[in-house]
Structure 1
Amino acid sequence: MIMKSRSKPIRILQIEALLRRLPDYHRKRAEIEVDYRNGLSGFNGEKQLDYYLSFLPGKDFRIYNDLRFILHTPFQIDSLLITPFFAGIIEVKNYSGTLSFEPISDQLIQKHGQKEKVIPNPVSQVLRQVSQFKEWLLKEKFPELPIEYFVAITNPATYIKTEKENSFILKRVVHTEKIIDRLMDAKSKYNKQILWPTDINRLNEKIMCKNSPLDNNILNTYGINRKDLLRGVQCHSCKSFAVVRKDGKWCCLKCKMISRTSHMEAITDYLLLFNSKITNKECRDYLNLESRHTAYRILKSLNLSGDGPAKKRIYSKVNV
């Protein structure tokens, strides 16, 4: 049973908005495009895991995706599974080539053709998550729960290898399609019930309440001045910003495309890039509007909450 579904991370949404409004010649654009491709690749890998997890018996497993908790420091979990008998934590990696887990140095060597490089060991990463989640459960006053952990490799062509004395790695690092087998093996291993229905319901409430998605200022992350970004409404057809408001519609002066809703993406970009709140004046400046009433009608039509008197009202995002 999926209790928290996976959605596109806020960072990817922010980068998409940033790339829409960053001029092609900007010095940071190439770096941001690489980060976007990497982030999207990771997200697509996580969705691949979701496909296989959907085959788990819903009555036995509760599935939570994209979690971020605050303990001493924040920690993230790609997928958390809760059962009455044990929990499971899965870290998803979209690695390719050959992965060699070195038993002595505890390093992971990735090889592509003749090129080799050391990359962070995902087993160490998921073990930290196990330790942090155990501490989080203790802090929230839940009984100690056995935790199984796995690293899911989404690329089926990736070769996973290690030395004989390190063979436990091959039970913990598996291709995504093998995750179900590993989880069902774990299910058969535990027969002592730790969590009862009231515990599970309370844990569900805590997980949903304590989840704290990361929402960084993306402009600060890349050192970009907001003045560098393009204002106004973008044409959905030719992608230019030569769009003006006329007779209640958005008209592209370049390709003549007409739309009534193009402002929706523009306001979403504003809320992702600049601030979670917007005023009527900020809306007018950003969309190149002169009329306060037009800006009011646009903001009123969106899924925003308004606070304050009409002339000083601040609109905040609800679901962006």
Structure 2
Amino acid sequence: MLSKPRTKPLVLKKEEALLLRLLRNHPKYHEIERDYSKRKAGYKGELNIDYYLTLLPKENYFILHDLRLPHGDHFFQIDTLLICTRFALLLEIKNYSGTIFFDQFTNQLIRTLNQKIEAFPCPLYQVKRQKLQLKQWLAGFGILNLPIEHLVVMSNSSSILQTNEGNEHIFKGIIHGWKLIPEIERIDQLRKPFKIAPQALEKVAESLLNAHTPENPDILKLFEIPAADIKIGVACPGCKSLPMKRIRGSWYCEICRLRSRDAHMKAINDYFLLFQTGLTNRELREYLHITSSHVASDILSQMNIPFTGKRRDRVYYSLGTY
């Protein structure tokens, strides 16, 4: 059945490029590094849960990962959505270590790790809000009564889950990843088939995919970083230092002496991730520290980067795949 695989978030790729090309003593470096670490941990946790979902019979479920859907003037994001003829299931995935306390009075998730206490919004409220938004979204397609279930899935199996005395019932909706498949099977047994043709359900899944809008912020604007602060040049694939030198058709690192024929590909990819603008031959030469316009043209041609204009007026644009 139709599915949407999980891919590395675009924001994560942009932050990786940004950290590579900022000086470590830059005033925003550690702020970006902290945000990157959180996003990377979240992505890793989602991948861990994806493994369990591969155990489900593919012919029974539409499995859509990492959906970002329009809702009025805003968007809402779903970590994973399962749809079948019996129900839809929203999964909100969290990757937290340590002791996790769900406080019923403050509606917060409180984590204790290495004697440090941090508070986060309760993911149960988050997934319930997503449930309401998805219900409204489906109503636009005439799907009014499809049961929508929700679960908060903790991907770190060693985390300890706690709550206030008498509030233990919340753990019906908060589970560790290893319990996910039995829980889906339990829900499946409880629900009767919904009166919708499989073809109509597939159209709903296709509509969800078509409406998906990846988050694509201007990363320099987001962190208020001037373009002049970005280190240019080709980064060494080995030691990450830059710039490499172009010598006889390949790139040479003066630090670790590594040679590469295609290290420029990541550098150009970084350019589009960070600047989100078109690229001219002259700008490429400045960015890669090369002098020959012919070499620059060959590089752009070999990468099959789309362009507009003719000859000197050409402007190259990202393929959008990053």
Q: Return the TM-score normalized by structure 1.
A: 0.94
Number of corresponding residues: 320
Q: Which residue of 1 aligns with 2:124?
A: 123
Q: Which residue of 2 aligns with 1:185?
A: 186
Q: Provide the rounded CA distance (Å) in 1 between the counterparts of 2:116 and 2:39.
A: 23
Equivalent position amino acid for 2:84 in 1? T
Structure 1 residue runs of 5 or longer lacking an equivalent are none
User: In the TM superposition, what are the counterparts of 1:84-123 in structure 2 within 5 Å?
Assistant: 84-112=85-113, 115-123=116-124
Contact 2:305 2:318 in 1 (8 A): yes
Q: Is 2:199 the partner of 1:198?
A: yes
Q: Provide the rounded CA distance (Å) in 2 between the counterparts of 1:77 and 1:276.
A: 29
Q: Provide the rounded CA distance (Å) in 1 between the counterparts of 2:222 and 2:132.
A: 29
Q: Which residue of 1 aligns with 2:145?
A: 144
Contact 1:303 1:317 in 2 (8 A): no
> CA offsets per residue over residues 269-298 of structure 1, 9 Å max, x none?
001001153222221121122222211111
Q: CA RMSD in A?
A: 1.8
User: In the TM superposition, what are the counterparts of 1:280-299 in structure 2 within 5 Å?
Assistant: 280-299=281-300
Q: Provide the rounded CA distance (Å) in 1 between the counterparts of 2:45 and 2:256.
A: 37
Contact 1:109 1:116 in 2 (8 A): yes
Task: Point out the more displaced range, 291-300 or 5-14.
Answer: 291-300
Q: Provide the rounded CA distance (Å) in 1 between the counterparts of 2:141 and 2:315.
A: 36
Structure 2 residue runs of 5 or longer lacking an equivalent are none
CA gap 1:112/1:249 in 2 versus in 1, 3 angstroms: closer
SS of equivalent to 1:92: strand
Q: Which residue of 1 aligns with 2:9?
A: 9
Equivalent position amino acid for 2:184 in 1? L
> CA offsets per residue over residues 99-155 of structure 1, 9 Å max, x none?
232334433333346554432100000000000111111123334311110001111
CA gap 1:144/1:301 in 2 versus in 1, 3 angstroms: farther
> CA offsets per residue over residues 145-184 of structure 1, 9 Å max, x none?
1111000111112222234643331111000111111111
Equivalent position amino acid for 2:69 in 1? F
Q: Is 2:232 the partner of 1:237?
A: no
Q: Provide the rounded CA distance (Å) in 2 between the counterparts of 1:254 and 1:104.
A: 56
Contact 1:137 1:144 in 2 (8 A): no
Q: Provide the rounded CA distance (Å) in 2 between the counterparts of 1:14 and 1:148.
A: 33
Q: Which residue of 2 aligns with 1:33?
A: 33
Contact 1:86 1:147 in 2 (8 A): yes
SS of equivalent to 2:60: coil
Q: Is 2:227 the partner of 1:210?
A: no
- Identical-pair percentage: 38
Equivalent position amino acid for 1:235 in 2? C
CA gap 1:143/1:308 in 2 versus in 1, 3 angstroms: farther
Q: Provide the rounded CA distance (Å) in 2 between the counterparts of 1:313 and 1:130.
A: 47
CA gap 1:192/1:165 in 2 versus in 1, 3 angstroms: farther
Equivalent position amino acid for 2:223 in 1? Y
SS of equivalent to 2:59: coil
Task: Point out the more displaced range, 202-211 or 103-112.
Answer: 103-112
CA gap 1:52/1:267 in 2 versus in 1, 3 angstroms: same
Q: Is 2:255 the partner of 1:247?
A: no
Q: Return the TM-score normalized by structure 2.
A: 0.93
Q: Which residue of 2 aligns with 1:49?
A: 49
Contact 2:87 2:147 in 1 (8 A): yes
Following superposition, the deviation at residue 2 of structure 1 comes to 6.6
Contact 2:107 2:121 in 1 (8 A): no
Following superposition, the deviation at residue 200 of structure 1 comes to 1.9
CA gap 1:309/1:239 in 2 versus in 1, 3 angstroms: same
Contact 2:156 2:176 in 1 (8 A): yes
CA gap 1:296/1:209 in 2 versus in 1, 3 angstroms: same
Q: Provide the rounded CA distance (Å) in 2 between the counterparts of 1:19 and 1:277.
A: 22
Q: Provide the rounded CA distance (Å) in 2 between the counterparts of 1:250 and 1:13.
A: 23
Task: Point out the more displaced range, 243-252 or 8-17.
Answer: 243-252
Contact 1:97 1:158 in 2 (8 A): yes
